[in-house]
Structure formats: structure tokens, C-alpha cells
């Protein structure tokens, strides 16, 4: 197992404690392409943040590749994030005073990779995603789909074990959503990147091989979807 | 992370691509330092301007001259005229060993001096050679009067700066040439660039100094002396000497001991003290206002940086999410603060030097308003320190931004 969660609990305590995750048990293998679905407020983002070491959990154990991820110092957490995990967010989260290529380079800057190497690698990813002409543009000069592809390039440039995406198509129209999902699918098929996508959209979930439902802070049913019959984009969009 | 060209670029990009933000932050520092330096420079200039009036003048000097008596005494009616005489000079020397110098002077006003078609209004002072210890001359060419000039009644003169400029517009050393003062020809032996305004005979720049023995004969003054200047030896309290000197003169001239009007006696000591205190006060004010402005600037910068850090929560969160350590963030914010402070501070130094230079041009380069290099460097280091201090609180806050904070702030 690449990812192993055992009895994860998480309680937010802002004045009034809110028990969000109530014992999550989950295993995800190397090379899997998984989606997490659930109602709003069910704790999907909370779970993904814990998976991405962006946040701590209160109880249980979380292993990546057998390594226990618990009570890490900020420095260690930053190191693991940088080395093992790539993030894609609903709102892209690009730095708006940096050009596309500078955004893509940034994770390597924090690894101490030299400028030329960084630049070449970033350019390589942008080319692959059909963004070579946009390398020197700022985020506010690009469309949502382009921004999300830049964000995916940034997430992949460190060649992480796991790519985490929190509603990556949430701010995109259905056509662009299909393009982004095709890109993720391609990455999973060709490069064997392990991908976990949080989504509301059944169309997005249908692109993945496994759909994990989360309800009231625990894992509900897990559906295998290797045939991709669950629900296609545009039809039966009950979740959106 | 090591500090290399890359990190420098990261910092400069962040500053250059957020110009409005950087400008607002830097301006507080710029203005604070500019005000401080400009005030210091202006204060220096003011001080110099004021002290020019006193430069070269012995501070423990008393100047005295005769006037009508104000009281009847021993058969004399009030309103009697009397004069100081050379015997009074000898008397004071004899009675008061505390005095280093006792020197007489006489003056001639409203005289025209001529040299080869150039003429200038001036006044003539007849002095002893030892007057140079009362008011130290700034000899530009030649020499001052000496004992031999006086004994041999040589018709020689030392001319002031303005006289020299008017009579010898072509410049050069005028010594040895003759000028006509009133109706008498004097040989120029020196040029005095002193600027003192205290000289009772008027501004020393417009003065022609000749031996008192010569002027006395020309004016037919006989034993009469215009004024007497005395200078105390080191450590002698002139305010205590003043009444004793007055009484000694009064006794010799049969004047009522309590007659305040019969002789004016000007003790320079308290005047110098007032001026000195004035300078101290002005200096204190300058530093108070300057440091205050600089501090306000630094606090303002700290405030703005605090707001900026809040504004940058998402950016910092993103950096953290993709692998920046808290130290990376701390380093970045502190370095941004330092770079900004240095750039703003250096501009302020350049700008204030430029403005002070403008002041000097306005003052025809006769007064130095400029700050010196040491002051600029001291201000600069003070500023850098303030810049670092100002950046610490915001940087500390930035360091504690968590990646999830950025994700949530939508
Ligand atoms: N930092 C926080 N402090 C307090 N409560 C929080 C915090 N983050 C999330 N919550 C609460 O925890 C619950 C789960 O939040 P979470 O963001 O994980 O839900 P979600 O499943 O991602 O929802 P959505 O589909 O709307 O994104 C919500 O009720 C939310 O209000
Ligand atoms: Mg969510």
C-alpha cells in the first residue's frame, strides 16, 4: 500500500468542537486513480488536507510508503510535501505576480535546483500540456483551463508519488473539465501517477477507477469503476 | 536554503512586481531618513551661519567705552563728557594681573578707500598688534600688524575680505601695493578673511586695520581712546571682573561709583553662553524631530508590512503547500524588508544630499549645509537596524501561516 489510513480522527475546535472525521480507514495502492465523493461538509477537503500533510490529525495512523506521517515538524512536513506530494486546487492557487513558467518552477526553487535546470524542466512540462506559448504570461491573462493545466504542471514537476486534487474542475465549464480529466487520466495511465480527486461531479468521478464515498465522517461504500459506467459528463448530474 | 542569485531574484521579483505595495512600504523609511538628514544638514548650516558672527572672537572679552555721566559727583554736574585714555590701558594692566590682554582702539567711520579707479566704503580701525588675541584674524595673504609697525608708525594696513574683493577684483596677492584711504596712502600688508560681526567697529569684512599710533595722529586724537578691549586669562570669571574694572576706571575719572550710564561695558561671556545654549536647543530639537520621524517611519513600515503579510496569506500558504519551510518564508520576508529599507534609505541619503546642495547654491556656497559622510553612514546603519526590527514582527507572523490557511481563504 502506498497510502494507509487507520482510524483517523479530526476535530476542529474553534470555540465549539466539530468532529469531522470519525475513524477513517483507507488504503490506496500505487498507480491507483481514485475519487472521493460526498455531501458538502462531509469532510472531503479535511481528509485530502491530511493526506497531503497540509493539516494534522488527532487520532489514528497515516503511512505513506510505510513511513508514519505523524507529529512532523513544520520543516519535515514541508520536505515531504515537496518531495512526495503534488497539489491541484479548485481555485488554481497560482501566484499571480509570477508568470506561468515561474509558477511551475517554484517547487524546484525550494528544492534548491539551479535556475537553468528548473527552467528547462518547467518548459518541458508546459510544452507537454500545450502551454509553451503561455510560459511568459501571468495567471490573470489565462483561461481557467489553462491555469489549471499550469497548476497541474507545477504539481508534477517534482515527480511526486501522489497527486492530490481538490475539486480540480470546480471552477471550469464541462468542456474544459473533460480536458483536465483527460490529462489526469493520461498521467495515470502513462506515468503511473497515483491520483486522488475530490469531487462533487459524478462525471469527474466516472473518469476514475475507484469511487470512495464519504458520509458523516466515515468511509461509506467504495465502488470499483474500471468500466467507467457510473455516470458520464453532462448526464445524470445529480451531484452537481 | 542558501542565499544565492536565485533567492535574490525571488526577493526582487516580489518587490518589483508589487510596486505600489513596495513603494508604500519604502516611502515611510525614505521620508523619515530624508527628514532626519535634511534637518541635521539644515541645522549645521544654521549653526555655521550664526557662529560666523562670532568666529575667532575670544569668548572671555569685555569691551568698554565712555559716555556722558548720569550722576553728579564731587562737584561735577551730571551729563559731563569724559574719555578713556591710554593711561587707563596701563592702569588696567597694572591693577588686574588676571587680564591677559588690555588693548585700546580708535575708529574712523564713513571712509572711502580707492585703488586704481576702484573704490569702496569702509571704516578704519586703529588697533594695537595684540588685538589679534581678542579677535583672531583669518589671514589670507601677508601678515597682521606687528609691534614694529606701531613703534615706527608705519602707514600700513590689513584689509577685510570685501575691501579686498572691491579694490583688487583681479585677485592675487595685494601685499606691497598702496591704497588711498580717506586722504592717506597705506601700504597693504595683509588680507583678513575673518567674518566676525562682533567688532564694535563693524563687520570685519568691511574693515581696514591700521596701527593705532598712525590713526591717532591722523585724527588728532591725542590721549583719547575710543574703546578698550580686555581679555581674561584662562579660567578668570569675567562677570566678576566687570564691576571691579568699572570701579577702577570710575575712581580715576572721578565718577560716581553707582553711575551706570557713564561707561558702557559689554561682557561677551553671557552672550556667548546664550548662543551656545541656542545651538544646543536647536540641535536637540533637530534630533528629537528627526528621530521621531524616523521612528514613525519604521513603525509605519512595520504596520504596512503587517497588512501586506495578511494580504499575502494565500501566496505564502501556496509556497508552504509546495514545499517552503517556515524558515524560507521568514528569510524571504526579512530580506524583502532589508532590501526595501536599503533602497529607500539610500535614495533618501542621495535625495537629502541633493537638496542640501541646493540650499548651498541658494546661499552662494558661503555656508556649508551638507551632512558629512559619517553622519550619513550612522543614519544608514540606524536605518538598516530599524528596517530589520520593523520586519521581524511581520515575518514572524508570516512564518506561522499554515498551508491550510491559504486554501480556506477564498
Ligand atoms: N479550519 C476549520 N475550522 C473549523 N471548522 C472547519 C475548518 N475547516 C472545515 N471546517 C468544517 O468541517 C466540516 C468539513 O469541512 P470540509 O471542508 O472538509 O468539507 P467538504 O466535504 O470539503 O465540503 P465541500 O464539498 O463543501 O468542499 C465543515 O462543516 C466545515 O465547516
Ligand atoms: Mg471541500
**For B85-103, what is the mean pLDDT?**
93
DSSP code per residue over chain A = --EEEEEEEEEEEESEEEEEEEEEEEEE-TT-EEEEEE-TTSSHHHHHHHHTTSS--SEEEEEETTEE--S--HHHHHHHHHHHEEEEETT----TTS-HHHHHHHHHHTTT--HHHHHHHHHHHHHHTT-GGGTTS-GGGS-HHHHHHHHHHHHHTT--SEEEEESTTTTS-HHHHHHHHHHHHHHHHHH--EEEEE-S-HHHHHHSSEEEEEETTEEEEEEE-TT--S--TTSS-TT-
Per DSSP, B131 falls in state G
CB atoms within 10 A of CB A174: 13
- Ligand 1: residue of A10, A12, A47, A201 to mutate (most ligand atoms within 8 A of CB) is A12
- Looking at residue A62, its pLDDT comes to 95
* Ligand at shortest distance from the CA of A49: 1
pLDDT bucket at B296, cuts 50 / 70 / 90: confident
CB proximity list for B289: less than 8 A, separation 6 or greater: B35, B39
- Asked if residue B383 has pLDDT above 80, the reply is no
Ligand nearest to the backbone CA of A214? 1
Is pLDDT at B339 greater than 60 in this prediction? Answer: yes
| CA of residue A35 to ligand 2 center, whole Å | 13
**Grid coordinates belonging to B284:** 536637540
Ligand 1 binding pocket, CB closer than 6 Å: A 12, 14, 18, 20, 38, 40-46; B 408
A97 touches chain B (CB under 8 A): yes
pLDDT at residue A236, rounded to an integer: 46
Angle at A184 between CA A181 and CA A185, to 5 degrees: 85
Q: Which ranges of B182-263 would DSSP assign to H, the alpha helix?
A: 212-219, 238-253
Contact: A111, B406; criterion CB under 8 Å: no
Residues on chain B touching A93 (C-beta within 8 angstroms)? 314, 317-318, 321, 406-407
How far is Cα B184 from Cα B164, in angstroms, rounded to an integer? 17
Min Cα–Cα distance to chain B from A178, Å: 24
Q: What is the nearest CA distance from B389 to chain A, expressed in angstroms? A: 24
Say what percent of chain B tops pLDDT 70: 96
Q: Of A81, A88, A84, whose CA–CA distance to A104 is shortest?
A: A88
Domains in chain A: boundaries: 3-224
Closest of A45, A106, A116 to residue A81, by C-alpha? A106
**Is residue A114 less than 8 Å (CB to CB) from chain B?**
yes
Which of A20, A54, A56 is the best residue to mutate to test the B interface, defined by the most B CB atoms within 10 Å of its own CB? A54
CB burial string A57-74: b at 16+ within 10 A, e below: beebebbbeeeebeeeeb
Whether residue A110 and residue B318 make contact (CB cut-off 8 A), yes or no, is: no
DSSP H helices, B254-408, are 268-311, 313-321, 326-362, 373-399, 403-408
Q: What is the pLDDT of residues B366-382, one digit of tens each?
A: 777 788 888 888 887 88
CB-based contact, B20 to chain A, within 8 Å: no
Residue A237: predicted pLDDT:
46
Half-sphere exposure of B16 (CA within 13 A, CB side): 7
pLDDT digits (tens, 9 = 90+) for B142-197: 999 999 999 999 999 999 999 999 999 998 899 999 999 988 999 999 999 887 76
Residue B91, pLDDT score: 93
> From the centroid of its chain, how far is CA B330?
46
Our CA-based measurement puts residue A153 at a distance from the nearest CA of chain B, in whole angstroms, of: 12
pLDDT of residue A239: 42
Residues of A in contact with B318 (CB under 8 A): 93-95
Q: Which ligand is nearest to the CA of A10?
A: 1
Mean pLDDT along residues B44-52: 78
What is the Å distance from ligand 1's center to A46 Cα? 6
Q: What is the pLDDT of residue A234?
A: 52
* Residue from the list B322, B326, B404 with its beta carbon closest to the beta carbon of A107: B322
| B199, pLDDT greater than 70 | no
The residue contributing the CA closest to ligand 1 atom 6 is: A12
User: Per the CATH hierarchy, to which homologous superfamily does domain A3-224 belong?
Assistant: P-loop containing nucleotide triphosphate hydrolases (3.40.50.300)
Give the number of other CB atoms < 10 A from CB of residue A40.
7
| Exposed/middle/buried for residue A133 (C-beta within 10 Å: 0-12, 13-18, 19+) | exposed
Q: Yes or no: say if B357 and B370 are a contact pair by the CB < 8 Å rule.
A: yes
Q: Which of B351, B341, B279 is nearest to B38 (CA)?
A: B351
Q: Which residues of chain A have pLDDT under 50?
A: 235-240
- Note the pLDDT tens digit of each residue in A38-75: 998 899 999 999 999 999 999 999 999 999 999 899 89
Kindly give the number of the ligand 1 atom that is closest to the alpha carbon of A200.
25
- Chain B closest CA to A228's CA: distance in Å? 31
Protein residue closest via CA to atom 2 of ligand 1: A12
Residue B347 has pLDDT above 70, yes or no: yes
Partner-chain contact A87 B326, CB within 8 Å: no
Whole-number Å distance, alpha carbon A89 to ligand 2 midpoint, is: 10
- What does the pLDDT average to over B350-364? 86
A81: its cell numbers: 510535501
Answer yes or no: do B326 and A75 touch at CB < 8 A.
yes
pLDDT > 60? residue B294: yes
For residue A20, the model assigns a pLDDT of 93
Q: Testing the interface with A: which of B323, B326, B329, B406 to mutate, by most A Cβ within 10 A?
A: B323
**A78:B17 CB<8 A:** no
What is the pLDDT at residue A164?
A: 95
Decide if A119 touches B, using CB distance below 8 A. no
Average pLDDT, chain B: 86
What pLDDT sits at residue A35?
95
Residue B260's SS3 state is coil
Q: Bridge partners of B188?
A: B157
Question: Is there a contact between B409 and B314 (Cβ–Cβ < 8 Å)?
Answer: yes
Residue found by looking up cell 515561474 in the block: A102
Contacts of B404 in chain A (CB under 8 A): 49, 54-55
Contact residues, chain A, for B325 at CB < 8 Å: 74-75, 78-79, 110
- In chain B, what residues touch A114 (CB-CB under 8 Å)? 6
| Contact check, Cβ <8 Å, A81/B323 | yes
A105 to chain B, minimum CA–CA distance in Å? 11
Say if B13 is an interface residue toward chain A (CB within 8 Å). Answer: yes
Q: How confident is the model at residue A18, as a pLDDT?
A: 92
* Stronger pLDDT, B54 or B256, i.e. the higher one: B256
Rounded to two decimals, the ipTM of the complex is: 0.90
The predicted pLDDT at position B3 comes to 56
By C-alpha distance, which of A223, A162, A233, A196 is closest to A36? A196
* Contact (CB, 8 A) for A92 and A98: no
Instruction: Tell me the C-alpha distance between A51 and A85, whole Å.
Output: 9
Amino acid at each position: 500500500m502506498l497510502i494507509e489510513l487507520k482510524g483517523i480522527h479530526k476535530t476542529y475546535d474553534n470555540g465549539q468542537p466539530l468532529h469531522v472525521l470519525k475513524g477513517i480507514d483507507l488504503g490506496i495502492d500505487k498507480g491507483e486513480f481514485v475519487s472521493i465523493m460526498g455531501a458538502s461538509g462531509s469532510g472531503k477537503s479535511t481528509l485530502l488536507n491530511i493526506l497531503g500533510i497540509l493539516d494534522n490529525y488527532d487520532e489514528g495512523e497515516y503511512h505513506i510508503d510505510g513511513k508514519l506521517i505523524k507529529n512532523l515538524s513544520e520543516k519535515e512536513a514541508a520536505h515531504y510535501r515537496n518531495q512526495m506530494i503534488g497539489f491541484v486546487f479548485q481555485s488554481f492557487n497560482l501566484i499571480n505576480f509570477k508568470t506561468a513558467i515561474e509558477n511551475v518552477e517554484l517547487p524546484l526553487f525550494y528544492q534548491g535546483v539551479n535556475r537553468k535546470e528548473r527552467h528547462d524542466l518547467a518548459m518541458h512540462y508546459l510544452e507537454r500540456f500545450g502551454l509553451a506559448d503561455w510560459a511568459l504570461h501571468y495567471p490573470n491573462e489565462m483561461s481557467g483551463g489553462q491555469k489549471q493545466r499550469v497548476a497541474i504542471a507545477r504539481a508534477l514537476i517534482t515527480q511526486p508519488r501522489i497527486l492530490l486534487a481538490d475539486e480540480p474542475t470546480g471552477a471550469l465549464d464541462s468542456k474544459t473539465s473533460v480536458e483536465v480529466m483527460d490529462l489526469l487520466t493520461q498521467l495515470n495511465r502513462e506515468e503511473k501517477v497515483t491520483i486522488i480527486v475530490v469531487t462533487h461531479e459524478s462525471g469527474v468521478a466516472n473518469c476514475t477507477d475507484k469511487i470512495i464515498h464519504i458520509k458523516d465522517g466515515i468511509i461509506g461504500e467504495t465502488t470499483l469503476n474500471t468500466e467507467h459506467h457510473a455516470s458520464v459528463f453532462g448526464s445524470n448530474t445529480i451531484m452537481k | 536554503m542558501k542565499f544565492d542569485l536565485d533567492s535574490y531574484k525571488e526577493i526582487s521579483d516580489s518587490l518589483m512586481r508589487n510596486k505600489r505595495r513596495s513603494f508604500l512600504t519604502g516611502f515611510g523609511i525614505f521620508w523619515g531618513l530624508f527628514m532626519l538628514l535634511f534637518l541635521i544638514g539644515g541645522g549645521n548650516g544654521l549653526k555655521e551661519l550664526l557662529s560666523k558672527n562670532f568666529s575667532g572672537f575670544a569668548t572671555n572679552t569685555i569691551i568698554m567705552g565712555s559716555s556722558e555721566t548720569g550722576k553728579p559727583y564731587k562737584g561735577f554736574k551730571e551729563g559731563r563728557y569724559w574719555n578713556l585714555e591710554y593711561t587707563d590701558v596701563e592702569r588696567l594692566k597694572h591693577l588686574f594681573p588676571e587680564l591677559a590682554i588690555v588693548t585700546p582702539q580708535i575708529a574712523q567711520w564713513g571712509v572711502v578707500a580707492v585703488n586704481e579707479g576702484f573704490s569702496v566704503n569702509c571704516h578704519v580701525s586703529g588697533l594695537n598688534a595684540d588685538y589679534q588675541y581678542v579677535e583672531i584674524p583669518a589671514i589670507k595673504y601677508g601678515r597682521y600688524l606687528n609691534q614694529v609697525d606701531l613703534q615706527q608708525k608705519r602707514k600700513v594696513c590689513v584689509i577685510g575680505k570685501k575691501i579686498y574683493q572691491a579694490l583688487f577684483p583681479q585677485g592675487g596677492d595685494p601685499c606691497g601695493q598702496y591704497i588711498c584711504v580717506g586722504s592717506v596712502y597705506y601700504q597693504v600688508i595683509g588680507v583678513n578673511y575673518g567674518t566676525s560681526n562682533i567688532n564694535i567697529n563693524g563687520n570685519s569684512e568691511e574693515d581696514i586695520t591700521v596701527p593705532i599710533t598712525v590713526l591717532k595722529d591722523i585724527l588728532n586724537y591725542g590721549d583719547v581712546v575710543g574703546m578698550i578691549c580686555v581679555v581674561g586669562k584662562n579660567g578668570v570669571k569675567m562677570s566678576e571682573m566687570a564691576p571691579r574694572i568699572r570701579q577702577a576706571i570710575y575712581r580715576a575719572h572721578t565718577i560716581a561709583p553707582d553711575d551706570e550710564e557713564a561707561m558702557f561695558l559689554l561682557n561677551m561671556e553671557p552672550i556667548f553662553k546664550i548662543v551656545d545654549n541656542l545651538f544646543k536647543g536647536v540641535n536637540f530639537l533637530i534630533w528629537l524631530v528627526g528621530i521621531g520621524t524616523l521612528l514613525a517611519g519604521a513603525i509605519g513600515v512595520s504596520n504596512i508590512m503587517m497588512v501586506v503579510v495578511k494580504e499575502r496569506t494565500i501566496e505564502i500558504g501556496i509556497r508552504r503547500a509546495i514545499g517552503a519551510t517556515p524558515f524560507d518564508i521568514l528569510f524571504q520576508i526579512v530580506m524583502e524588508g532589508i532590501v526595501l529599507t536599503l533602497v529607500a534609505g539610500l535614495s533618501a541619503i542621495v535625495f537629502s544630499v541633493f537638496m542640501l546642495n541646493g540650499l548651498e547654491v541658494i546661499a552662494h556656497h558661503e555656508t556649508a549645509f551638507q551632512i558629512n559622510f559619517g553622519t550619513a553612514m550612522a543614519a544608514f546603519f540606524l536605518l538598516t537596524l530599524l528596517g530589520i526590527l520593523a520586519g521581524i514582527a511581520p515575518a514572524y507572523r508570516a512564518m506561522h501561516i499554515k498551508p491550510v490557511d491559504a486554501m480556506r481563504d477564498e
